[in-house]
Amino acid sequence: MVYDHSMDLFSASGAASQSSPLSEILRPKNLDEIIGQDKTLGPKSKLGQMLRKGYLPSLIIWGPPGTGKTTFALALSQHFSAHFVNINAVDSGAKTLREIGEQGKDRRLQYQQKTILFVDEIHRFNKAQQDVLLPFVEKGDVVLVGATTENPSYELNRALLSRCRVVVFERLSVEDLSKIVTRAETHYKKTLERILTKEAIDNLLEYSDGDARRLINSLEILYNFTKDEEEGALLDVNDMRELLQQNPLGYDKNSEMHYDLISAFIKSVRGSDPDAAVYYLARMIDGGEDPIFIARRLIVLASEDIGNADPRAISVAVSGLQAVEAIGLPEGAISLAQVTTYLASCPKSNASYMALNKARELVEKTRTLPVPLHLRSAKTALAKDLGYGRDYKYPHNYPTGWVDQEYIPAEVEKSPLYEPTNRGFEKNIREYLSWMKGTSKS
């Protein structure tokens, strides 16, 4: 669907009607009214100065929901007296894009007017759709303003990205959200303190989670619910939560947040911070992440980051996966918390992981060298006649269970692959290997 604005973005009078949703009434009308993005759009920022001097490049706006991406695009069209076209990538195909581009070209050539094409969820465009936009963006027939909650470098092709400037919008702070509350109070001519307790107000700002849209929708419900009520008892936290039907944490298993949270989770366990690790675990579980996915990642971590510093770690991690598969959620979260805190508290070593990487590099370099004769299988008479297994020394026949003989092909340059650390049980392994090889000579 194409929403094609002319210059009457906020009604003919330039302001939203009193019957409009609060989100439209409070929507900033120009760049200076936008809240929370001063670092990016303020008069002292480079982009802000560029826009105020009259230069408008194509932009990709990347940021969480409710941070003002659509509002910014609307304000740009006002600032540059541009024709504004608003589409969503989900329901706009190549034909629609081509029509918009041709109309923008005609508008540019006949009326010398810019066309701002605002594409919400631009990361949902496929490569073919992005390619349709390229010539129109290159020639200036449209100024592309794309909005996305996903990392543009993952979702958009290089050709389109190279023609746009990426602008990062940050989630709004509590101070920013408080400014929006003040605007709502001015509109309703009633302070929030006359509706909610102090604790409820604090909870509302926390619940909004940096999302202006969520806050404004909540304020609209609260003010409309209490507009005909006589002033008296204030709504407390429980009253407000019941009224707003507060939703679970915003989370998309296919979004960048998925990758960011699992990355922070793994790095917290690796960094031996059980508090941070279980915090990210709670965010993923409450956001709807697949517990099996979390359990499998913990198994990988048990070998990659703990290894033989605590050989029990992998058993604990595998048991955690089995527990989650057996009982599911919500109780399976308890098992995940146990595994998470245990692994975070373990001594750490990546010596096994590094040994594997070194070995793979060595194999890549030396390829398929023949196995030394004394190590080959001598199961057949022919193999024995060829000398397979001859001169092999059986380690159990020696005092420490070790004997000095070559195992790696002679053509391979000798260098250690597995180097145990001095942490956890791996310290015992290091000392044992040193003792064993130092006391048994042949």
CATH 3.40.50.720, domain 256-345, yes or no = no
Mean pLDDT, the chain, rounded, equals: 88
Looking at per-residue pLDDT, the higher value among 286 and 308 belongs to 308
Split at pLDDT 50, 70, 90, the class of 268 is very high
DSSP letter for each residue of 102-146: HHHHHHHHHH---EEEEEETGGG--HHHHHHHHHHHHHTSSEEEE
Report how far apart, in Å, the C-alpha atoms of 218 and of each of 142, 172, 181, 184, 200 are: 36, 16, 10, 11, 12
Check whether 13 has a pLDDT greater than 50.
no
Q: How far apart, in whole angstroms, are the C-alpha atoms of residue 80 and residue 82? A: 5
Nearest to 144 by CA among 44, 129, 169: 129
Contact present, 270 and 343 (Cβ < 8 Å): no
CATH 1.10.8, domain 174-244, yes or no = yes
Structure tokens at 282: 């709670």
Looking at per-residue pLDDT, the higher value among 303 and 435 belongs to 303
Check whether 247 has a pLDDT greater than 60.
no
Q: Residue 249 has what pLDDT?
A: 57
Long-range contacts, stretch 217-221, CB < 8 angstroms, 24+ apart: 217/22, 217/23, 218/244, 219/22, 219/180, 219/181, 219/184, 219/192, 220/21, 220/22, 220/23
Cα dihedral 291→295→296→297 (10° resolution) = 100
Q: Residue 178 has what pLDDT?
A: 95
Residues of the chain with CATH 3.40.50.300: 2-168
Q: Residue 18 has what pLDDT?
A: 62
Please, which residues bridge with residue 281 across strands? none
Structure tokens at 190: 């009633």
Residue-wise pLDDT for 133-153, tens only, equals 999 999 999 999 999 988 888
* Average confidence (pLDDT) over 203-229: 89
Looking at per-residue pLDDT, the higher value among 311 and 12 belongs to 311
Q: How far apart, in whole angstroms, are the C-alpha atoms of residue 154 and residue 354? A: 28
**pTM, two decimal places:** 0.62
- The CATH architecture that domain 2-168 belongs to is 3-Layer(aba) Sandwich (3.40)
Q: Residue 442 has what pLDDT?
A: 44
Residue-wise pLDDT for 290-310, tens only, equals 899 999 999 999 999 999 999
Percentage of the residues of the chain whose pLDDT score is greater than 70: 92
Check whether 7 has a pLDDT greater than 50.
no
DSSP letter for each residue of 48-107: HHHHHTT----EEEE--TTSSHHHHHHHHHHHTT-EEEEEEGGG--HHHHHHHHHHHHHH
Residues of the chain with CATH 1.20.272.10: 256-345
Residue at token pair 């980051």: 305
Q: How far apart, in whole angstroms, are the C-alpha atoms of residue 72 and residue 34? A: 7
Structure tokens at 122: 């631009």
Check whether 176 has a pLDDT greater than 90.
yes
Residue-wise pLDDT for 14-48, tens only, equals 455 567 899 999 999 899 999 999 999 989 999 99
Q: Residue 356 has what pLDDT?
A: 94
Q: How far apart, in whole angstroms, are the C-alpha atoms of residue 259 and residue 252? A: 10
Split at pLDDT 50, 70, 90, the class of 175 is very high
Q: How far apart, in whole angstroms, are the C-alpha atoms of residue 402 and residue 396? A: 7
Residues of the chain with CATH 1.10.8: 174-244
Q: Which residues contact 399 (CB under 8 A, 6 or more apart)?
A: 439, 440
Radius of gyration in angstroms for the set of CA atoms belonging to the chain, rounded to a whole number = 32
Check whether 90 has a pLDDT greater than 50.
yes
Q: Residue 354 has what pLDDT?
A: 94
Contact present, 157 and 128 (Cβ < 8 Å): no
Q: Residue 439 has what pLDDT?
A: 63
* Average confidence (pLDDT) over 347-356: 95
Q: Residue 8 has what pLDDT?
A: 40
Q: How many CB atoms lie within 10 A of CB 432?
A: 12
Percentage of the residues of the chain whose pLDDT score is greater than 90: 63
Nearest to 321 by CA among 300, 292, 301: 292
Check whether 251 has a pLDDT greater than 70.
no
Residue at token pair 């971590």: 301
What superfamily does domain 374-439 belong to in CATH? DNA polymerase III clamp loader subunits, C-terminal domain (1.10.3710.10)
Structure tokens at 287: 């956001």
Q: How far apart, in whole angstroms, are the C-alpha atoms of residue 126 and residue 147? A: 15
Residues of the chain with CATH 1.10.3710.10: 374-439
Q: How far apart, in whole angstroms, are the C-alpha atoms of residue 186 and residue 184? A: 5
Q: Residue 423 has what pLDDT?
A: 92
Check whether 80 has a pLDDT greater than 90.
yes
Check whether 187 has a pLDDT greater than 80.
yes
Residue-wise pLDDT for 385-434, tens only, equals 899 999 999 999 988 888 989 999 988 888 889 999 999 999 999 998 88
